[in-house]
Structure 1
Amino acid sequence: MRLQDDRLVQDPCIALGQGEAPFQVDTSRRSQSRGVSLSLLVNSPSKLRSNMSRKVSRPRASFLTGQAAHNTGIKANNPLDSGGWDAFKAKEDNALPVWLKGAGYTTALIGKYQNRYGQQSPWGAWLAWAGSLLNISFKGTTIGNPRDWVPPGWDLWYAFTGTRARYYDYAVNENGAILSFGHRPSDYSTDVLKDRAVAFILCQAEKPNPFFLLIATKAVHAQGKRAVPAPQYVSAFEEVGLPVGPSFNEKDVSHKALKAAPIGGESKAQLTKAYRAELQSLQSVDDLVETVADALKRAGKLDDTVIIYTSDNGFLFGEHRLIGKSAAYEEAIKVPLVMSGPGIAKNETRAQLVNNLDVTATIVDLAGASPSMVLAGRSLAPLFADANAPWRSAILLQSPINRFQMPHNRFTGTRTATRKYVKYDSGFEELFDLAADPYELNNEAANPAYAGDLAPLRSLNDRLNTCAGASCWLP
């Protein structure tokens, strides 16, 4: 390891998968069929279970600022709802890459940035909306959000210029120059990001400064109906079916806020295809992780690098009759958080409640950076060596907010180790006993036996939804 100003210097390298449903992936089956795969990470580092606030631009804005959505004011993806990159631009001067640059780091972003980056301003979004009503495709919807913008703090900027998932036929902004990719096998986006990340890492081999590398793939997001795998994986996992647990196609949702129709046979068949496509496209993410770790080793950096693997949301494949990610159920809010590096215990799992704000705080702590604001998360470093380290008792859940949502789709919530409370804008409440009912089949909000839980959880939820900085920590 290298020392800088008498402190240990580590190179945080974070790989952020897009829209995964990781807790439904059979990693043992994958490693048996494909060799090393994710085992390079999963078999050696500490693994911390995580619950994240979801929706793409919101967690990304929170990750880059270390602030919750109610602090940043970014609660949506669309500029029409004061969300997406148009809302985040004003915060770019005081964000994670700028702090890391101040600490002497070389920084790189490879992949996805914010929703609507280089795509739509509010004016362009209004044009697109009007065009959809008139069945007209306007060409000027990038007005106000130039594709060649490079945010401050990044030494290497290699970012997709559009929001929609595109595994082929997309554009990338490389430090202000627009690169266009077609439909050749070599244009497969996850592989392109992999090759660029390797080139960046190898360039750091003889350089003294530590570096921070953020890789954010489009996989496993759907392009149209489902994700698009690389050619070599289109036939993988043909024997894998859709995981069906007790909450799949839930029989009775009359006591729930979200009351979707039952899932029929045709819908289940489509879900199976979509699930299998996610597994197939995830194989290229596995390749990326393996290749990046190998490049770190070749560059002589692996032993001094902290690697973090996570995602920005889970996904519901028919659980509770729902399809998607904008719900408070466990399948949507839980994501993987896998870490490897110096000082991190091997082959261990932590059960503490952590969120995406803690990831930011951890990177800042390890890098010795000085943020210009009080972070809402806490560094995970105390958990690296101590599975019983004192930690928070509750975390906040927040749904996206947009003008087209019905009140029963907007919610805030509080999750503890054994309880989950959800309050919808319609006034409807849900309370789940996660210890007795891990599949969240029984809403106990109206059950007198849980009245003693309901009142303190309501109070906690109100507090977390208005907290800032250190006040967001509930011991």
Structure 2
Amino acid sequence: MLAAASFLPPPLRILVLPADADAAHLPSACQAAEELDGSGATFQHNRWSRSPSNPNAGYGITSVLEGGSVLEKAAANISVVAGVLTPERAKAMSRRGRAAIDPASGQSYSAAAMSLVFHSAHPFIPTLRADVRLFEVEGQMWYGGGCDLTPFYLVEQDAAEFHAYWKQLCDAHSPQALHCTPMRTARLNLYPEFKAWCDRYFYLPARKEHRGLGGLFFDDVDASEAGYDVARFVRDVGDGILPSWAPIVERRRGQPFSEAQRQWQLLRRGRYLEFNLLYDRGVKFGLDGGRVESIMVSAPPLIAWRYNVQPEVGSEEERVVELILTDDQDGMIGTDWYMPKLHKLLGTEGINVTSYISNYALCCPSRATILMGQCSHNTGVVGLGKQGCVLRDHSCMPHVGGRLALHAGSARTPPGSSKSTASTNPLGGFGRFQEMGLENKTAPYYLHQAGYRTGMIGKYLTGYNSTFIPHVPPGWDRWFVFSDNEFYNYTVSDQGKSKSFANAEDDYSTDVVTAHGVEFIQQVKDDSRPFFLYLAPYACHYPHIPANRHLNKLKGLKIPRVPAYNESQQHLRKKVSFINSLPPIDEEMAAGLDFKYQARAETLLAVDDMIEAVFLALEEVGELDNTYVFFTSDNGYKLGHHRLSGKMSGYETDVKLPFYVRGPGVPRGVQLPHMVSNIDFAPTWLELAGVEDPLAGERDGISMVPLLRGDKNVTADPMLYRVGVVVEKPVPNGMLDSMVSILTPVADPDNDIFAQYRPPRLPNGSWPLNVLANEYQGSWYNNWTTARLDKAELTGRNLSSYTYEGWKRASATQVPIC
């Protein structure tokens, strides 16, 4: 039994000492907590043991610190116990999937655990709870553990960095990171699964709210089936507990607070104790013959109970309650975490799929893929369509079987454009999409053909500019599309007619898109056809201008300082040349990037309002329970991550995006780690509508319908659902379309449809050095990237030089423009 406890982190190896060892062998976590508190308060240690004749024999140490300046109460428990399973315990464990346990009981067990609970005296320092544990029955072992936060006030930076810390730790243990071939039942990505597990476990069903902001929780993990080194992972979790919390303490310990805020902290502590007494399995297990004082030592030192306390509307107290009422915050290291209405209306009431991957980290190719259900090398839209970067005297037409074939000849002239414009279409943008003949092959087109009322409102495809305003693509009943992508001072194509907007408050583009989306939904009163609505606001794209009501709403918000941010030279030196020679981000650059992060998040507050307006409209017309709602983005963004700024790379910041779905038959409040992609939308929409897809054989995606409806055949094992998604690289020279990247794949390597648009090879078949330097982004890319992060660009120009006067008055600061 003692040897089994060696799974614990090295500082806690006290468990393998004899039961009568000196209590001075204090776990280093307690020592570090004393130093963090700094008041001189120390832990009092109580060693206990039970005779081997006791049915629950064992020993341990309970350590408690009380009355510190930061730590109002801290408790550390170490225990090693053994006994015989009662029928009640055995049945409960058997129901959770422990096949080796006989429900009739009588089996011997042993268990070892370490737990920590830190209750702060400061309302802005959240409670921390953590543990690691091992349970053994007749030679078979299961691991468990976790670490979670219970805040009293929502401080975005603290919560984001806490989750980012644990995500980084989990990612380091995922099978992909370890370069191993996982077993069939291996978890592809530990963080989404263990975070979702935490959200489900620390839940008060009677109140329909979560105890806190989550973290990690895992139980019954069988090392023989996991596909990764579970013992090492658990050791690292144990070592990481205090480091995940200490930065929050250091930032908040000097922050002043009022007596009212202290009282709110005591009220919320009641939820903590309520969960422990009513729902916590560990407490119930321990109280069934265990040592009561050691079990109840996790209780807060002081709590307050008042009848039916409700926070004031719009208060900081309401913010934390509203967010806790949601079931998901997986986007905590991204700006979607600051959208409580999204989480309340979609996260709590639907599914959050945490491994949504965009095929191409650039807006136009990604949006084309969403509409077509094809990878970018199959749509042929592999860029933005910048002027001056053109295809001459060629057009592209789809080929049977989903491949693309190039044909010589003049390109077709789009309606409302000149022959010369059309004959120089680039490899990206709306012109390319139209030239490929894709407008009448999209999923919305076939929905329209099947009798759906369809609406496209907002941003369509890059390159749909004022030249194309008269053109309304086939398959759209309602067409309200930007020809200038801006927040103010823009023009739209309104059913093929030009309509301009200025810089008045009600001209804010996200709000305009919202109003027209709501109007489209309300028309169901007069039009009984089923509908498909594609709402696409411009947020949070550059230049990141928030609505007037949201200016500085998130003032001081900072980018989570995860390890990838301003990546260390130690990590960089292992990477390719265009990364390992990038200069570090200094404080001035960081301040500019932080402001950009804040501004991006503030633009999404209007999107959050849009989500609420859409759901209210659906409820008003009686269609809420009959409608599927999807939420995602086209691509992500880097802000100092890997010392880069922007998109277009294969890093997770660029391709891993938020994704939520709510609708009939969709499980509520569920997080899934399954891998889905923007190639999956078209087949999913058509299957949900019951519309036969004439081009099903040409779509690259798979329908998500079984996943969305909770089909156990696909939800049970992410490995059996999908193991990978193609991520394609943008063409060289940033976003320009002068030629196709040598790294852009094609369906048939022997029939390179882009051959004549790639750089020429050398006679021996290899690529010239300058092409390789361009493709793998050598010195030219470093120079370009450095310029984007230049201090003068970040801090030397005022955003008001190209935005409206209200933002100038509200910001009154130098802000980034990159």
Distance apart, 1:26 and its partner CA:
6.3
Separation in structure 2 between the aligned mates of residue 43 and residue 410 of structure 1, nearest angstrom: 44
Q: Is the 8 A contact 1:111 1:159 kept in 2?
A: yes
Q: Is the 8 A contact 1:205 1:301 kept in 2?
A: no
Query: CA offsets, 1:131-154, max 9 Å, x none?
Result: xxxxxxxxxxxxxx4222100000
Q: Is the 8 A contact 1:397 1:412 kept in 2?
A: no
Distance apart, 1:118 and its partner CA:
2.2
Counterpart in the other structure of 1:396: 726
1:285 is paired with a residue of what secondary structure?
helix
Q: What are the ranges of 5 or more consecutive residues in structure 2 without an aligned counterpart?
A: 1-329, 391-425, 746-766, 777-818
Task: Specify whether residues 22 and 360 from structure 1 end up closer, same or farther in structure 2 by C-alpha distance, changes over 3 A only.
Answer: farther
Q: What are the ranges of 5 or more consecutive residues in structure 1 without an aligned counterpart?
A: 1-20, 120-144, 414-423, 430-475
1:51 pairs with 322, 334, 357, which one?
357
Counterpart in the other structure of 1:25: 334
2:430 pairs with 78, 85, 97, which one?
85
Counterpart in the other structure of 1:381: 705
Separation in structure 2 between the aligned mates of residue 314 and residue 27 of structure 1, nearest angstrom: 11
Separation in structure 2 between the aligned mates of residue 189 and residue 197 of structure 1, nearest angstrom: 12
Counterpart in the other structure of 1:228: 545
Q: Is the 8 A contact 1:105 1:212 kept in 2?
A: yes
Separation in structure 2 between the aligned mates of residue 249 and residue 41 of structure 1, nearest angstrom: 33
Task: Specify whether residues 195 and 38 from structure 1 end up closer, same or farther in structure 2 by C-alpha distance, changes over 3 A only.
Answer: farther
RMSD of equivalent CA atoms: 2.6
Separation in structure 1 between the aligned mates of residue 441 and residue 470 of structure 2, nearest angstrom: 20
Letter aligned with residue 378 of structure 2: N
1:75 pairs with 355, 374, 382, which one?
382
Task: Specify whether residues 412 and 244 from structure 1 end up closer, same or farther in structure 2 by C-alpha distance, changes over 3 A only.
Answer: farther
Letter aligned with residue 723 of structure 2: S
1:383 is paired with a residue of what secondary structure?
helix
Separation in structure 1 between the aligned mates of residue 432 and residue 336 of structure 2, nearest angstrom: 37
Please identify the structure whose Cα radius of gyration is greater.
2
Q: Is the 8 A contact 1:400 1:410 kept in 2?
A: no
1:205 aligns with 2:525: yes
Separation in structure 2 between the aligned mates of residue 27 and residue 67 of structure 1, nearest angstrom: 26
Counterpart in the other structure of 2:567: 250
1:354 is paired with a residue of what secondary structure?
strand
Separation in structure 1 between the aligned mates of residue 459 and residue 338 of structure 2, nearest angstrom: 29
Counterpart in the other structure of 1:426: 772
Q: Is the 8 A contact 1:51 1:355 kept in 2?
A: yes
Identical-residue share of aligned pairs (%): 31
Query: CA offsets, 1:85-123, max 9 Å, x none?
Result: 11001311222221111221000000000001025xxxx
Write the mapping of 1:349-360 to structure 2, written as runs, cut at 5 A: 349-360=671-682
Counterpart in the other structure of 1:420: none
Distance apart, 1:256 and its partner CA:
2.1
Separation in structure 2 between the aligned mates of residue 255 and residue 412 of structure 1, nearest angstrom: 25
Write the mapping of 1:33-432 to structure 2, written as runs, cut at 5 A: 36=341, 38-49=343-354, 50-53=356-359, 54-78=361-385, 80=390, 81-89=426-434, 90-119=437-466, 145-162=467-484, 165-223=485-543, 227-252=544-569, 253-257=572-576, 258-259=578-579, 260-373=582-695, 374=697, 375-384=699-708, 385=710, 386=712, 387-388=715-716, 390-402=720-732, 411=743, 426=772
Query: CA offsets, 1:206-249, max 9 Å, x none?
Result: 432110000001000012xxx00001110211132221101111
Letter aligned with residue 353 of structure 2: L
Separation in structure 2 between the aligned mates of residue 206 and residue 306 of structure 1, nearest angstrom: 21
Task: Specify whether residues 59 and 321 from structure 1 end up closer, same or farther in structure 2 by C-alpha distance, changes over 3 A only.
Answer: same
Q: Is the 8 A contact 1:118 1:149 kept in 2?
A: no
1:172 is paired with a residue of what secondary structure?
strand
Query: CA offsets, 1:120-177, max 9 Å, x none?
Result: xxxxxxxxxxxxxxxxxxxxxxxxx422210000000000012xx4100001111111
Task: Specify whether residues 392 and 38 from structure 1 end up closer, same or farther in structure 2 by C-alpha distance, changes over 3 A only.
Answer: closer
Q: Is the 8 A contact 1:92 1:152 kept in 2?
A: yes
Letter aligned with residue 391 of structure 1: Y
Greater relative contact order (CA < 8 Å, ≥ 6 in sequence): 1
Task: Specify whether residues 153 and 231 from structure 1 end up closer, same or farther in structure 2 by C-alpha distance, changes over 3 A only.
Answer: same
Letter aligned with residue 388 of structure 1: A
Q: Is the 8 A contact 2:443 2:683 kept in 1?
A: no
Distance apart, 1:402 and its partner CA:
4.4
Q: Is the 8 A contact 1:362 1:380 kept in 2?
A: yes
Separation in structure 2 between the aligned mates of residue 110 and residue 52 of structure 1, nearest angstrom: 22
1:93 is paired with a residue of what secondary structure?
coil
TM-score of the aligned structures, taking structure 1 as reference length: 0.72
Letter aligned with residue 394 of structure 1: G
Query: CA offsets, 1:383-404, max 9 Å, x none?
Result: 1213216312111100111456
Counterpart in the other structure of 1:123: none
Q: Is the 8 A contact 1:118 1:148 kept in 2?
A: no
Separation in structure 1 between the aligned mates of residue 632 and residue 537 of structure 2, nearest angstrom: 11
Letter aligned with residue 68 of structure 1: C
Distance apart, 1:254 and its partner CA:
3.1
Letter aligned with residue 86 of structure 1: G
Separation in structure 1 between the aligned mates of residue 338 and residue 433 of structure 2, nearest angstrom: 40
Separation in structure 2 between the aligned mates of residue 319 and residue 209 of structure 1, nearest angstrom: 47
Separation in structure 2 between the aligned mates of residue 296 and residue 237 of structure 1, nearest angstrom: 29
Query: CA offsets, 1:398-445, max 9 Å, x none?
Result: 0111456799x97569xxxxxxxxxx983999xxxxxxxxxxxxxxxx
TM-score of the aligned structures, taking structure 2 as reference length: 0.43
Number of residue pairs matched?
366
